[in-house]
């Protein structure tokens, strides 16, 4: 699967985002080492601390199905004029499983930038 296809899956997932509070709809598509892709969207809650990001939704779906080795993750939001970057918590959660995963960050017009997680989270905490 090429980058654009993975980004398209993320964009599709964003359509399921439950974001009545921020109105910021995020989608993620997480590619595993064997090519399997898990998507995710953000799921908000009236108790704001309970909001779950799109990336972590995808990671939890993957891990709960027995997948822990990730190669790429695409993140996008049609509501974002700037590149949709994973938050610090999502970077840390991704680092738990794949510290050098490739991270594709798209903006509303479809342009995207690519980083290694190690660039986005240098000196990451791992036991």
Which two structure tokens, joined as six digits, stand for 70? 């990730």
Integer Cα distance of 82 and 76 in angstroms: 10
Residue 44 is a binding residue for ligand THU (CB under 6 A): yes
Residues composing the chain: 127
Q: How many residues bind ligand THU (CB under 6 A)?
A: 13
Query: What torsion, rounded to 10 degrees, do the Cα atoms 35, 78, 90, 57 define?
Result: -60
Residues 75-114 interacting with ligand THU (rule: CB under 6 A): 86-87, 90
Given the residues 55, 65, 96, 102, select the one marked as catalytic: 55
Give the footprint of ligand THU on residues 24-43 (CB under 6 A): 24, 26, 42
Q: For residue 68, what are the contacts with CB-CB under 8 A and spacing of at least 6? A: 62, 97, 98
Active site residue 55: yes
Q: Minimum distance from CB of 121 to ligand THU (Å)?
A: 12
The residues annotated as belonging to the active site are 55
State the residues that interact with ligand THU by CB under 6 A. Answer: 19, 22, 24, 26, 42, 44, 51, 53-55, 86-87, 90
């Amino acid at each position: 699967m090429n980058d654009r296809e993975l980004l398209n899956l993320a964009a599709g997932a964003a359509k399921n985002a439950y974001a009545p509070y921020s109105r910021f709809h995020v989608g993620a598509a997480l590619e595993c080492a064997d090519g399997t892709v898990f998507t995710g969207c953000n799921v908000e809650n009236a108790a704001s601390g309970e909001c779950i990001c799109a990336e972590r939704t995808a990671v939890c779906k993957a891990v709960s199905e027995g997948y822990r080795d990730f190669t790429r993750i695409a993140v996008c939001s049609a509501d974002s004029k700037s590149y949709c970057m994973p938050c610090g918590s999502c970077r840390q959660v991704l680092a738990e499983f794949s510290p050098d995963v490739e991270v594709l960050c798209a903006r509303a017009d479809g342009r995207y930038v690519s980083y290694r997680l190690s660039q986005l989270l240098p000196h990451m905490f791992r036991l």
